[in-house]
Amino acid sequence: MLFDGKERKERERKMREAGRLPPGQALTLKWPVLHYGSVPRFDPQAWDFRVSGLVERPLRLSWEEFNRLPAAEITRDFHCVTRWSRFDNRWRGVPFREILKLVKLQPRAGFVLVRAEQGYTANLLLPDLDRDDVLFATHHDGQPLAPEHGYPLRLIVPHLYAWKSVKWVRGLEFLDHDAPGFWEQNGYHMYGDPWKEQRFDTD
């Protein structure tokens, strides 16, 4: 519709002026769905969240235990490498730092492989998770996540391209080296900073 197009363009201009639109991105008012594979079914009895690798003791939380952890809210922009950006998303969930409090890392544990349903993974450096705006989200704009957006739980890492914001997340593996995740093995950049346009491994 003409009105929608005008409104989108106007908001995009404002975000660009405000310095909030990364290079090569366009503003979307909708919320596209993007993932590899199918939407997994959630079984609260079978679901668990596991922390493994370079920790003193591996951790396993049931869905009930996970939900007893303290929650927080952040409002952040979301940038997909396929060139859309969605602004002012209000996420609610468990901060990464709450999980960090529950484990003792071994000294060499500077890297993380985030693990999700169906074998999806994404790699991150520990400092990119150990920030006050990184959380495991259960809600978006006041509503529980829709199945296609990651229900019951997804990671949100607002300062990197959205493929690092893993949907249907099931755990973390701490490593002593940077090991490429799913998209990183398929040509995407190892780090993924939208402000530096780190889209592909050739960037």
Ligand X SMILES: Nc1nc2c(c(=O)[nH]1)N[C@H]1C(S)=C(S)[C@@H](COP(=O)(O)O)O[C@H]1N2
Residues 6+ apart with CB under 8 A from 34: 80, 82, 162
Phi, psi of 112 (to 5 degrees): -135, 135
Within residues 151-190, the interface with ligand X by CB under 6 A covers 162-163, 165-168
Note whether 34 binds ligand X by CB under 6 A: yes
Q: How far is the CB of 23 from ligand X (least distance, A)?
A: 17
Helix/strand/coil for 143: strand
Q: How far is the CB of 78 from ligand X (least distance, A)?
A: 7
Within residues 152-171, the interface with Mo ion by CB under 5 A covers 162-163
Within residues 92-131, the interface with ligand X by CB under 6 A covers 116, 120
Size of the site for ligand X (CB under 6 A): 17
Which of Mo ion, ligand X, none is residue 167 near (CB under 5 to 8 Å by kind)?
Answer: ligand X
Query: b or e along 99-127 (b: 16 or more beta carbons within 10 Å of the residue's beta carbon)?
Result: beeebeeeeebebbbbbbbeebbbbbeee
Which parts of this chain interact with Mo ion (CB under 5 A)?
Answer: 34, 80-81, 162-163
